[in-house]
Amino acid sequence: METTGVYLRPSPTGFVPQHRNCPSLHSVPNVPGFGFGLRKNLQLHGRKLPLGLSLRRAGSWVGRIQASSVGSGEFQSEIEALRKMRVIAIKQELDALGVSYRDCFEKEDLVKRLARERRRTWHRLPMRKLKSTAASPKEYIIIPLTFGNLGTFDFLLDTGCSTTLVSPQVAHNKLGILPGSGTMSRGLGGMGDGGLAMRKISLPAMNIGGKLCKSVEGIIMDLASTGLPPSVAGIVGLNVLSQFDVEFDFVKEHITLYEAGAVERGQCSQEGLQKLAMIPISFNLQKLAEEPLPMAFTLPGVQVDLGGGNMQTALIDLGSSLSVTTPDIAKRSGATLEMAAFSGVGVGGQQMPFSRADMDVTMFNMAKDKIVFKKIPFAVGDLPALRAIECNIILGLNVFSRTRLVLCMSTKDLYLQTFV
């Protein structure tokens, strides 16, 4: 059996309340992220749920997908934004794109020329979101993958996943991948439960909204155990996302795909963005596996301070709705813990308790200026799989909800704009 890496992401998704006296409420088990779900131990007074946690009725998964529209008015919005740019900045971007503007005599001509070039060189998608219930604020980003004439399927987007996962139903019934093809691979669950046998295959040629992707390998994984609805065909990981510079605008609710390296070359607007140093996080799977595993995978990280000058590398995991850290980091940060606030369930049925702590997250731009996010809720627990990536902090979607984030894996760059 070949071993190729971690495919169950290090992120605590699917946080769902469960009340011991209410058997109709259940935690969503094994939602992707170390293969575990979390449930809240709380008294349900009235109908208000602390932390905005979701509910799942027994035997069913209640889900819906929201989509913000990116319609015909978007081009006009882009024009309006470009009109606010300085002429020299517009010309610099056109120069980087190799586009002449000698025939542009007015600023409006420059604005329209750049707007057309941007539309030609990048692709923008609505930021569609999957929620466990209509009442829950916890979200997962959905992105469409098109496999030629085989169809377009919704995948959960995950920057904390090295490899793209696909359900056996879609792989065999839609993509024409024969059962038993490929090679066996091994992954690790978040509770440190190894030996998760999976099948590695070559995925057919694909594109995202017309943006062609290079051929990649994928892993066939039964998503039924994750709690995701059947409409989700898989999880798109970094082996696809790293082929682009990806902008996540959580305020305007859209995702923009640029050519890899476009931001560094100045081929897209950096107005309002602050550059942060990306710290690549490498796997160290030998600490959890019984046999040697390769070290070729890296995940995006950034230096943060959770309080008290305690600088740490944190994983940026947009496949996780909440953020996670260890008890030691929470203690050193001076945080007050709400003990036994959550319990986690691993793929193999292992359980472990999680506390909750609200902590300030401080990042730093290249000039060492502070970027502070106040009172971010963290799940606090000693996850064995965190040791595999030698990282004690996971930053989930709840950190970035009021930001514009640009992830450039090809150049190992990270850009961030915050909004009040």
Full set of structural domains in the chain with CATH: 80-119 (no CATH), 125-244 (2.40.70.10), 269-418 (2.40.70.10)
Q: Of 276, 278, 218, which Cα lies nearest the Cα of 409? A: 278
In this structure, the dihedral spanned by the alpha carbons of residues 353, 8, 375 and 313, taken in order and rounded to 10 degrees, is 110
Q: Of 6, 53, 48, which Cα lies nearest the Cα of 343? A: 53
Cβ-count burial 59-95 (b if 16+ within 10 Å, e if not): eebebeeeeeebeeeeeeebeeebeebeeebbbebbe
Q: Locate 118 and state its tokens.
A: 């941007």
pTM for this structure?
A: 0.76
Do 136 and 128 touch, CB atoms closer than 8 A? Answer: no
CA distances from 140 to 72, 157, 264, 317 (A): 26, 7, 28, 11
In the chain the first and final C-alpha atoms are separated, in Å, by: 51
Bridge partner list, 271: none
pLDDT tens, per residue, the chain with 420 residues: 443 443 334 333 333 333 333 333 233 333 333 333 333 333 323 333 233 223 233 333 333 333 333 444 666 777 888 898 899 989 988 887 789 999 999 999 999 998 888 777 788 999 999 875 443 445 789 999 999 889 999 999 999 988 999 999 999 999 999 998 888 876 655 555 455 667 899 999 999 988 899 999 999 988 776 677 889 999 999 999 999 999 999 999 999 999 999 999 888 888 899 999 999 998 655 554 444 444 456 899 999 999 877 899 999 999 988 899 999 999 999 999 988 766 554 433 456 678 999 999 999 999 999 999 999 999 998 877 777 778 899 999 999 999 999 999 999 999 999 997
* CA separation for the pair 405, 413 (Å, rounded): 11
How long is the chain?
420
* CA separation for the pair 74, 78 (Å, rounded): 6
Looking only at Cα atoms, what is the longest distance across the chain?
74
Show the 3-state SS of the chain: CCCCCCCCCCCCCCEEECCCCCCCECCCCCCCCCCCEEEECCCCCCCCCHHHCCCCECCCCCCEEECCCCCCHHHHHHHHHHHCCCHHHHHHHHHHHCCCCCCCCCHHHHHHHHHHHHHHHCEEEECEEEECCCCCCCEEEEEEEECHHHCEEEEEECCCCCCEEECHHHHHHCCCCCCCCCEEEEECCCCCCCCEEEEEEECCCEEECCEEECCCEEEECCHHHHCCCCCEEEEECHHHHCCEEEEEECCCCEEEEEECCCCCCCCCCCCCCEEEEECCEECCHHHCCCCCCCCCCEECEEEEECCCCCEEEEEECCCCCCEEECHHHHHHCCCCCEEEEEEEECCCCCEEEEEEEEEEEEEEECCCCEEEEEEEEEEECCCHHHHHCCCCEEECCCCCCCEEEEEECCCCEEEEEECC
Q: Locate 156 and state its tokens.
A: 């959960």
Q: What is the CA radius of gyration of the chain?
A: 22
